[in-house]
Structure 1
Amino acid sequence: MLSNIRVVLVQTFHPGNIGASARAMKTMGLSDLVLVRPRAFPDPEATRLAAGAEDLVEGARVVDSLAEAVSDCVQVVGASARLRSLPLPHFDEPDAMARELVEHAAHDPVALVFGRERSGLTNDEIRLCSHQVSIPANPDYGILNLSQAVQVLAYEAFTAWRRRPTSGYRPALPPEERQPSREQLDHFHGHLARVMQGSGFLTQPHARTEAQLQALFARAQPSRRELSLLRGLLASLEHHLPEA
């Protein structure tokens, strides 16, 4: 289960923070580290600050985009200050987030996403997430180092894993009843956007409307079977639209 919890670091500037984050992960049993366009990697400073977690640093996967990093994940939680302009579901308490994350991780990959040291995640990157989470801190000085934020959320995930119910047999969900991956959802949202524009509901791309609909489906958490049903509905509607 813990091996299904991925930590994604986006455009990390200081390579030492990669090593320190790997160390924070390893102390909490996490091992899947993905780096999105780090400024400097590999780097001796990353290895030095890993301090026993060098295997995580050496095994880290480097990708070109956040979309690539989380495409197979069924839940993607972006760590950030709450952005009310983006209507994504938001966890105000990390322990509540961790319980849900661990539940999904029993069957499929999930991800915790952390942004740049100075500026965090962009709005476009937050939109690639299914949820946001904030770490409660001193309102007069609520600044956490990147690796400290990784440590806090990794601890919450590990604690939720330790406290999960272990009594009784819980059969694995069939694939069609599980949550869709971000890649599957992205295809659905792209299909929905085409139908909205082709039907005249939207006469031009409208980021706010599309973001609100994405948030709606994030809250609804449709299963893969339900998403397939919606795709079939869109395909039927699209078939009856006039050709451009």
Structure 2
Amino acid sequence: MLSNIRIILVQTFHPGNIGATARAMKTMGLTRLVLVNPRAFPDAEATRLAAGASDVLDNAQVVSSLEEAVSGCVQVVGASARLRSMPLPHFDEPDDMAQSVMDNAQHQPVALVFGRERSGLTNAEIRCCTHQVSIPANPDYGILNLSQAVQILAYELHRHWRRRTDSGFVYQTPSEAIPPTREQFGHFQVHLSQVMQRSGFLTQPHARTEEQLQALFARAEPSRKELSLLRGWLSALDAHLPQQSDS
């Protein structure tokens, strides 16, 4: 289960935070570190603060986009200090997040995404996620260092993994309830957009309609089977629409 969990850092500015994150991960049995456009990596400061977790750094994957980082994942949880105008399903407690992530990590890759030190994740990056999680903190001073946030959420994951290992409990996700990958959900969103545009439902005065409907389906958390049914429904609708001319 733990090997199916990716920790993703987006555009980390201070290389020391990458090293401290690697240390936080290794103490909790996590090894899959993915870096999206880090400012400096590899870096001596990252190695110094890894403090014995250099193997996590050595095996870290560096990619150019968040979409690439979450490829193949069935659940992507964005760590965010605040809700956005169109929130995804949100875990108010890290404990609830860990339970859900560990259920999915038994069978498929999952990811936890952490944003920039100062500004966090953008709205576009949040839309690459399936869920959000916040860490309850002092409302007068809720600022956490990047590696501290990783440590807290990694601890919750390890705690749930340890409980399951000690008890021998293994949750078997029914085949009809397996969530789609981000690529599969992305294909659905493109299909939905195309049908809305061709049907005339999506017009310029309602520019946010597409975004709102995509958020609605994201909150519904359809399984792969349900997403396939929705794709079939869209195809049936599309077949009754006037065909567009190539000229």
Q: TM range, normalised to the smaller chain? A: over 0.9
CA distance in 2, matches of 1:223, 1:159: 27
Distance in 1 between the 2:181 and 2:169 partners? Answer: 28
1:1-244 maps to which residues of 2 (within 5 A)?
A: 1-164=1-164, 166-167=167-168, 171=172, 173-174=174-175, 177-204=177-204, 208-244=208-244
Q: Deviations over 1:20-79 (max 9, x none)?
A: 001000000111100000001111111111111101101100111101111211111100
Q: Partner amino acid for 1:201?
A: F
Distance of 1:225 and 1:205 partners within structure 2: 34
Q: Distance in 1 between matches of 2:173 and 2:98?
A: 20
Percent identity reads: 73
CA distance in 1, matches of 2:169, 2:58: 38
- Higher mean C-alpha deviation, range 220-229 or range 160-169: 160-169
SS at match of 1:113: strand
**Change over 3 Å in CA distance of 1:15–1:83 after alignment to 2:** same
Matching residue's letter, 1:190: V
Structure 1 gap segments, 5+ residues each: none
Residues 87, 212 of structure 1: 8 Å contact kept: no
TM-score by length of 2: 0.92
Gaps of 5+ in 2: none
- Aligned partners of 2:76 and 2:112 also within 8 Å: yes
Distance change in 2, residues 1:28/1:191 (3 Å) = same
Q: In structure 1, how many angstroms separate the alpha carbons of the residues matched to 2:25 and 2:17?
A: 12
Q: Which secondary structure state, in structure 2, belongs to the residue aligned with residue 238 of structure 1? A: helix
The CA deviation at 1:119 is: 0.5
RMSD: 1.8
Kept after mapping to 1: 8 A contact 2:202/2:209: no
CA deviation profile, 1:131-156 (whole Å, cap 9, x unmatched): 11111111111111100000000001
- Residues 164, 220 of structure 1: alpha-carbon distance in 2 compared, 3 angstrom cutoff: farther
Question: Do the aligned residues in 1 keep the contact of 2:77 with 2:132 (CA within 8 Å)?
Answer: yes
CA positional deviation for 1:207: 5.8
1:204: how far off?
3.8
- Higher mean C-alpha displacement, 188-197 vs 161-170: 161-170
Letter in 1 for 2:152: V
Count of matched residue positions in the alignment of Structure 1 and Structure 2 = 243
CA distance in 2, matches of 1:206, 1:162: 49
Quick check: 212-221 or 161-170, which moved more?
Answer: 161-170
Q: Give distance in 1, aligned partners of 2:92 and 2:157.
A: 15
User: SS of the counterpart of 1:210?
Assistant: helix
CA distance in 2: counterparts of 1:10 and 1:205, whole angstroms: 34
